[in-house]
Amino acid sequence: MVFKLKDTQTGLHELNPIKDNTLKIYTCGPTVYNYISIGNLRTYIASDVLKKCLLYVGYKIEDVMNITDVGHLVTDSDTGEDKLDKKARSEGKSAYEIADFYTKYFYSSIDKVNVRLPQVISKATDNIDKQIEIIQILDKKGLVYKTDTGVYFDVSKIKDYEKLLGQDIDKQKIASREDVKIDTTKKNQADFRLWQTEYPNHEMQWDSPWGRGFPGWHIECAAIVNKFLGNHIDIHTGGYDLIFPHHFNEKLISESAFDSKFVNFWVHSGLLLVEGEKMSKSLENIYTIEDIESKGFDPLSLRYLFLTSHYSTKLNFTFSSLQSAQNALFRIYNFIKLNKSLFDKDKKVSLEYKNKFEEKIKNNVDSPGMIDVLWQVIKDKNLDTSSKITTILDFDRVLSLDLHKYLLTEEVPEDISNMLLERKEYRDNKEWNEADNLRIKIEDRGYIVIDLKDNTFVIEK
């Protein structure tokens, strides 16, 4: 199988797992001091689609995501205050309460757009030991220095640092900017903080060999990747805005500490504009999924809209494009609703279209192409309706637009849904005979049991 995936820096390459058939994937999670916006959601949906594509074509995955609940600093030069701490003070709450509240909000938002949770989700505050351990490794190698404000990574110790920065990175970002506090204790302007001791009133503090303080942002992801996935991983995802300095510095930390290549593929999703503008507080155009719902949209219309453009491109969100996406999605739902009596659970997925769909997947996760294949299936005059439904339900393992819901019989009696739950347990435990007996019982009551790869439901006979 040739699966082509684009690495942000080096372009399209064939994906070959480091070990066996399993891909190790890390996603930069949210900084939980604010409501996540639809811009953030685009990034998580992109990672979700990528992972479901990999599963669809037969890979296994091990995936991890962090929750940044400390140490995300207010400026991108990695100096200044911690955003969480600042927010806690402004709201008169504890930093832990703030983190907890916005973490829950994050979970409920990604759930609404069918983003599957990674197998491991780990908080920065649960990994302080690992972060200290890595700083100690760097310290032993002579790559850090301590000042009155904290511990810094010394970029002048990195051979070819300038060359590593490459052409793509805007060097202006490293140089001083008006809104960035100049840190005069640094040796080089590009040095970044690994441990911060400057704020004695910061609520979240831990002891370390360099004094009481809290970690910087880049060390956090380096530590969580290393703890759960090891020195070298297959894929690292995140928004384009994390390319520099966050991912660049995360890589610098990891490769320096562990003398190993860090990531095979960096996969970054593109910028989301709103009605042609960058999202900003002053323009009041930072929308959440709740804002979308309150304007009468189904959250999955947003997922459909994002699927219709490639994850790596810049996308201009407008409410009229969301309306068109919703109209298209509802047409698919209607197609299933109108034809559900023709659905035959023994019909096979159309192989011709499945192959086409897989081609799109393996071509750098071409989601607009996948949506296009879905519509080709619906419009095909030579394919029978039942095969059409079976085929697009199969595609929905990747697209996750809840297509199966529209086959469901509304109001399934409680004892039937209980039997389904019980049967799921049997199936999970591979007790096939018991599961089969229950299926027969359910069918005797006048329902047909449909087992999809990730889902089971019933329809009336």
Q: Which residues bind Zn ion (CB under 5 A)?
A: 28, 221
CB of 221 to Zn ion, least distance (A): 3
- The single-letter code of the amino acid at 61 is I
Residues 6 or more apart whose Cβ sits within 8 Å of residue 38: 272, 274, 287, 288, 289, 292, 302, 317
Q: Return the structure tokens found at 408.
A: 């469901």
Q: Which residue number, 49 or 221, has a Cβ lying nearer to Zn ion?
A: 221
For residue 440, the 8-state DSSP code is H
Structure tokens at 438: 């229950």
Contact 232, 261 (CB under 8 A): yes
* CB atoms closer than 10 angstroms to residue 208: 21
Radius of gyration of the chain (CA): 25
Return d(Cα 50, Cα 57) in angstroms, integer.
Answer: 11
Nearer to Zn ion, 28 or 41 (CB): 28
Structure tokens at 83: 């955003």
Q: Which is nearer to Zn ion, 221 or 458 (CB)?
A: 221
By beta-carbon proximity to Zn ion, the closer residue of 240 and 333 is 240
CB of 68 to Zn ion, least distance (A): 7
Tell me whether strands 263-269 and 272-274 are parallel, antiparallel or unpaired: unpaired
Residue 328: CB minimum distance to Zn ion, A: 34
Q: Which of 452, 448, 450, 306 is nearest to 371 (CA)?
A: 306
Smallest gap, in angstroms, from Cβ of residue 217 to Zn ion? 7
Query: What's the gap between Cα 58 and its chain centre?
Result: 20
Phi, psi (deg, nearest 5) at residue 152: -115, 150
**Quick one: 76 or 434, whose CB is closer to Zn ion?**
76
Rounded distance between C-alpha atoms, residue 180 and residue 80, angstroms = 8
Strand, coil or helix: what is 23?
Answer: strand
When the beta carbons of 241 and 443 are compared against Zn ion, the nearer one is 241
Residue 233: closest CA among 215, 255, 248: 255
User: For Zn ion, which is the closer residue by CB, 28 or 420?
Assistant: 28
> What tokens were used for 352?
């011709």
Smallest distance, Zn ion to C-beta of residue 40, A: 13
CB closer to Zn ion out of 28 and 267: 28
Contacts for 161 with CB less than 8 Å, ≥ 6 apart: 155, 190
User: CB-wise, 246 or 303, nearer to Zn ion?
Assistant: 246
- Tell the smallest beta-carbon distance from residue 271 to Zn ion (Å): 18
